[in-house]
Amino acid sequence: MTYTVLARCPRTGHVGIGIATYSICVGQYCDGLQSRVGATMTQAFVNQGNNGLALRLLAQGFAPARIIDELGLNDPYHDYRQIAVIDREGGVAAFTGPKTRGWAGHRIGDGCVAFGNVLAGPNVVEAIAAGYAADPDAPLERRLLRALESGRDAGGQRGAQGHLTERSAALRVFSDFDYADLDLRVDLHDHAVDELRRCFEEYEPYRAYYRERGRNPHDAVPQDVFVARLKASKAEARA
């Protein structure tokens, strides 16, 4: 009961993940991204050691398919995992263990993997991949978010009792730094993908401000002043 898009932007080399699930606090498990190294995610029955190991193997230069083999050799419960790996050149591999539950599967696209388990059907991963591919010129984070929304609109998760809502979601993008460029989460909410979109749209105008006040503190305006200006410009736009 999770659906995810893992991708590398071919224009910028940024790597990112968009994820939504019925489980709570899913962002806690999305620690498989590193600038200039690659991206990986293990879901379904999570082996929490996988992301760290896969990143170290990516850093050493192993190919994604070989890394998934290594993870398999390292884990007696590999069949219960769902894994995607993307390297710094956009090489991609994915694995859906035969013992993951419900409808489970993945679809590999150009520098991206759409994958999920306990889903309404294969149309969900198709929709995620299509959502990601819809606007290749958009920034990676917007492509990831659109992919998640497409997955949601295609039916999302379906368990034994029927449709399952998204209770948590996360959006993370790494560019060139030791830290994330963008890192947004919803940990517990009735419509986590909607809420993630709200957070993103709210946060977006602040991004440059947050970055610049750290780089040039001399010239930074106080945040309350920035917020006031933001409100004014929004009001102006409406008028």
Partner 1 sequence: MTFSIIGRCARTGRLGLGITTFSLAVGGRCEGVKANVGICKTQAFPNRGNDPLGVTLLAAGYAPARVMAMLAANDPDHDWRQIAIMDREGNIAAHTGSNTRGWSGHATGSDCVAFGNGLVGPAVLDGLIAGFLDDPTAPLEFRLMRALEGGRDAGGQGTATQHKPERSAAIKVVDRLDYPDIDVRVDVHPTAVQELRRVLEEYKRYEVFYRERGRDPAHAIPQDVFAAQLEAAQR
Partner 2 sequence: MTYSIIARCPRTDRLGIGITTYSIAVGGRSEGIRANAGICKTQAFTNRANDPIAVDLLAQGYTPDYVMRALAENDSDHEYRQIAILDRDGNAAAHTGSGTRSWSGHRIGDGFVAFGNVLAGAQVVEAIADGFAFDPAAPLEFRLLAALEAGRDAGGQVGGEGHLTERSAAIRVVAHPDYPDIDVRVDLHPQALTELRRVLQEFKLYEVFYRERGRKPREAITQDEFVARLEKTRAEGRV
Residue 72 β-bridge partners: none
Residues 61-80 that bind partner 1 (CB under 8 A): 73-76
Which one of 6-14, 83-91, 182-190, 229-237 is the stretch in contact with partner 2 (CB under 8 A)? 182-190
Pick one of 36, 49, 176, 225: the residue that binds partner 1 (CB under 8 A): 49
Pick one of 125, 182, 192, 193: the residue that binds partner 2 (CB under 8 A): 182
Q: How far is the CB of 60 from partner 1 (least distance, A)?
A: 9
Strand blocks (E) in the chain? 2-8, 15-21, 33-34, 38-44, 81-87, 92-96, 103-109, 112-119, 157-159, 162-164, 168-174, 182-186
Which one of 14-22, 33-41, 47-55, 84-92 is the stretch in contact with partner 1 (CB under 8 A)? 47-55
Alpha carbon distance 22, 12 (integer Å) = 32
What residues contact 84, with CB distance under 8 A and at least 6 apart? Answer: 4, 6, 39, 40, 41, 92, 93, 94, 95, 106, 113, 115
Residue 93 β-bridge partners: 85
231 forms part of the interface with partner 2 (CB under 8 A) = no
Residues 150-169 that bind partner 2 (CB under 8 A): 159-161, 164
Which one of 59-67, 124-132, 138-146, 215-223 is the stretch in contact with partner 2 (CB under 8 A)? 215-223
Q: How far is the CB of 161 from partner 2 (least distance, A)?
A: 6
